[in-house]
Amino acid sequence: MRATLTLSAALLAAACSSPSPALIGAERHRVNVADWQIDVYRKGDTAQAIRMTFDRKADGHLMARRGLIAVAMVTGCQDLRALDEGDPTIVTVRVGCP
């Protein structure tokens, strides 16, 4: 019973997406990049891409690459720079277009 509750709580938490406090209130856009679903939030010149798909082999570098693709898809901007590359779930991006 305890294992079932723990698994249920973990799956529920994994299905949630919320940006960092600086991006609260930003609209969520869900896009598909390769075989991942990624939520993108943008406010001003900052965006965050959050991986929603479970992938045991995900790493920070792959997330950064796919996160930049997702942000480009949502914003239409190619002038992007990843501000952090190490988290396999989230990447923060500086957007150089209005």
Task: Give me the numbers of helices (H) and strands (E) for the chain, helices first please.
Answer: 2, 5
State how far the Cα of 77 lies from the Cα of 98, in Å rounded to an integer: 8
pLDDT greater than 70 at residue 9: no
State how far the Cα of 23 lies from the Cα of 57, in Å rounded to an integer: 28
Check: CB of residue 39 under 8 Å from CB of residue 26.
no
Domain coordinates in residue numbering, the chain:
2-95
Task: Provide the pLDDT confidence category of residue 8 given band limits of 50, 70 and 90.
Answer: very low
pTM of the model: 0.82
pLDDT digits (tens, 9 = 90+) for 27-56: 999 999 999 999 999 999 999 999 999 999
